[in-house]
Amino acid sequence: MTGDPHAPGPTLHPETLTVAAGYDAQAHHGAVKPPLFLTSTFVYPSAQHAKAAHEAYFAPEPPTAGPRPAFIYARLDHPNLVMVEERLARLDRAEDAAAFNSGMAAISTVMHAFLRPGTTILHTRPIYGGTDVLIHRQLSQFGITPVGIEDGLDAVSVRRAAAAARAIGPLALVLIETPANPTSGIADIALIAAVADEIGRDQGQRPVVAVDNTFLGPFLQTPLEHGADLTITSLTKYAGGHSDLLGGGVSGRAALIAPLKQLRTVLGSPMDPHTCWMLLRSFETLHLRTERAGSNARVLAEFLRGHPRIAQVNYIGFREPGSAARTTFDRQCRGAGSTFSFRIHGGEAEAFRMLDRLRVIRMAVSLGGTETLICHSASTTHYAVPPERRALVGIDDSSLRISVGIEHCDDLIGDLAQALEAI
Ligand SMILES: *Cc1c(COP(=O)(O)O)cnc(C)c1O
């Protein structure tokens, strides 16, 4: 903590925290905005200070109170990293947070920290393409077995998958991606966390429950309040928000974040000072961007739902009242976000014809930027996922994913309308 008398207190709203948390102007010559510390290393005032700094950094139990230890080298820690982590922790309503140089660096560090040869990982389906490759191609070479949950809203299905995982080896990690990218499938975090508790009692050690919160971001969903141990976010997406940086974050109890920070040092994946500085600035408008993109997305989803060339719209806000998905969504989320997938009547050829006619909406992977982006999932984001696993979760050649930005929604609808004529 900064010890700043103006530091925002625990009762403040997230909109206020995004602007102020994690930065103490008085500690920086009164500069209203955070300086950027472009330095890879830090000078010690004396040899004794140097020893003390290393002692503090490598202590098995990092001190929870008192002045923070001196900086040593930017791969270990640096001032802009501290600012980003304090702000992210406050937004995720967590004790502490760790920032990485990409979302995948955050995810792979969590896997390194909690999985061991012979253990299993239970995950919802579908899972982000990069995560899918990591667990199926890389971790499987280290004797770690992934088991997918068929329906993350159904207790029987979750318990069945957990039992299958336990039959192979100790269940060490549960990874929930909700809403799922790109299908917007919903999983019940509290339900899965409760099953993790049961397994913990059974096997003597509770698996760590992590939620990939990228699809909605910190303003619309707080997984830690629903029983998750860790919230993982690709900060590249909504938090960064301008498609001009890469970053990842993990938030949770200090005791779980400390080993991630130690691993990050040796894996070499901390967020760099300049990215931290840009991200701190992006956080300030996160709520405004989330609101505007969210309202645009609803209008676009409604336009598409009524269009004769569209077969299906997977917008979360359309989930049927009374359904398990709807009930869980209402309990777990504060909004439907601004990324969703839809299916056209036709296949790859029709989808490509439509995409090639767009003029305002740009064709690119990624999501959460100020600009509207669209992509054909099967041939881009899910290219590396085998067609059988794609089909299992409802991604085929007619599926498109759109990340709605903050433009005027009439221009977006006009562009989609003229492009759909090409189908
Ligand atoms: C983009 C994304 C990631 C990976 O984040 P990067 O910053 O690209 O490494 C992980 N999970 C989800 C759901 C994503 O959309």
pTM for the whole structure: 0.94
Residue 122 φ/ψ, nearest 5 degrees? -100, 135
Give the mutation target among 107, 133, 234, 244 for probing the ligand 1 site: most ligand atoms within 8 A of CB: 234
What are the boundaries of each domain within the chain?
1-99+253-284, 103-235, 287-420
Both tokens of residue 382? 């899910």
pLDDT at 391: 85
CA 252 to chain centre: 13
Dump pLDDT digits (tens) for 2-17.
445 566 666 889 999 9
Beta carbon of 293 within 6 Å of any ligand 1 atom: no
Rounded CA separation 418/85 (Å) = 44
On the question of pLDDT at 62 being above 80, the answer is: no
Rounded CA separation 124/29 (Å) = 48
What CATH fold (topology level) applies to the domain 287-420?
A: Aspartate Aminotransferase, domain 1 (3.90.1150)
Q: Which residues pair with 176 in a beta bridge?
A: 211
Give the mutation target among 181, 242, 395 for probing the ligand 1 site: most ligand atoms within 8 A of CB: 181
Beta carbon of 234 within 6 Å of any ligand 1 atom: yes
Both tokens of residue 217? 């971001």
> How many Cβ atoms sit within 10 Å of the Cβ of residue 108?
22
Q: Is 122 helix (H, G, I), strand (E, B) or coil?
A: strand
Both tokens of residue 334? 């504060």
pLDDT at 11: 80
Dump pLDDT digits (tens) for 290-343.
999 999 999 999 999 999 999 999 999 999 999 999 999 999 999 999 999 999
On the question of pLDDT at 346 being above 90, the answer is: yes
Beta strand ranges found along 166-318 (DSSP E): 171-177, 208-212, 230-234, 248-252, 310-313
> Rounded to 5 degrees, what angle do the CA atoms 100, 234, 146 make?
95
On the question of pLDDT at 273 being above 60, the answer is: yes
Q: Does domain 103-235 have CATH number 3.40.50.720?
A: no
Residue having the nearest C-alpha atom to atom 1 of ligand 1: 234
Write out the H or E segment, with its range, that includes residue 96: strand 96-100
